[in-house]
Amino acid sequence: MQRLKHISIAVAGVLLLVYVIGYLLAGTWHAERTVLIRAPVPTVFAYLNNLKNWREWSVAHQQHPDMSIEYSGPDAGLGATSRWRNEHGRSVMKIMRSQVNDRIEYRVLFDGGESSVEGLLLLLPETGAMQEKSGAATRVVWRAGGTVGNSPVQRYFGLLLGYKVGGDFETSLQRLKQKLDPKS
């Protein structure tokens, strides 16, 4: 009986510790990945700035090939919008800022704004050995993040979400590289 009491106290202690750690985790998540593409910045920018091209390289589109997508606004740049529906619900993505040959900032709203993601694609001209060997090169930095809430469970979810999205970014950027850098 004494042993059962010790086991119960230990289990309760571990659960309390997990709960307290959950409160100490951030209520936000963040993912960032980068890739080097042997193509000039204007070429990479023009391709990324058009949301219709995302279907060719973004893992999200490969994971949900049956999703229906509608586009509105301009073909590219500020205000370009895509709306889609898949088995997880409906979402909308909009380019919020498009600075020529520098950056593309976007926002994704899921299920009518129930949750959102703020993202950035930063384009940096690459200098040095890579550029000397193959001409122009671009380093693409993809960042995104969002909030997950205040409960410990949501905060643990945010920790996992950063890893999951980061993995998707890694795969997507490799697909982008294959698309724009045929020598890769």
pLDDT digits (tens, 9 = 90+) for 132-168: 555 689 999 999 998 887 788 777 877 788 889 999 9
Q: Residue 11 has what pLDDT?
A: 73
Give whole-number Cα distances, 70 to 9, 19, 49, in Å. 56, 42, 16
* Topology (CATH) of 26-180: Alpha-D-Glucose-1,6-Bisphosphate; Chain A, domain 4 (3.30.530)
Is 39:183 a contact under the CB 8 Å cutoff?
no
Phi then psi for residue 97, to 5 deg, are: -155, 135
Q: Residue 6 has what pLDDT?
A: 74
Q: Residue 88 has what pLDDT?
A: 75
* Residues in the chain where the model's pLDDT stays below 50: none
Q: Residue 24 has what pLDDT?
A: 64
Is 100:115 a contact under the CB 8 Å cutoff?
no
Return the domain boundaries, the chain.
26-180
Q: Residue 152 has what pLDDT?
A: 83
> What are the beta bridge partners of residue 94?
81, 107
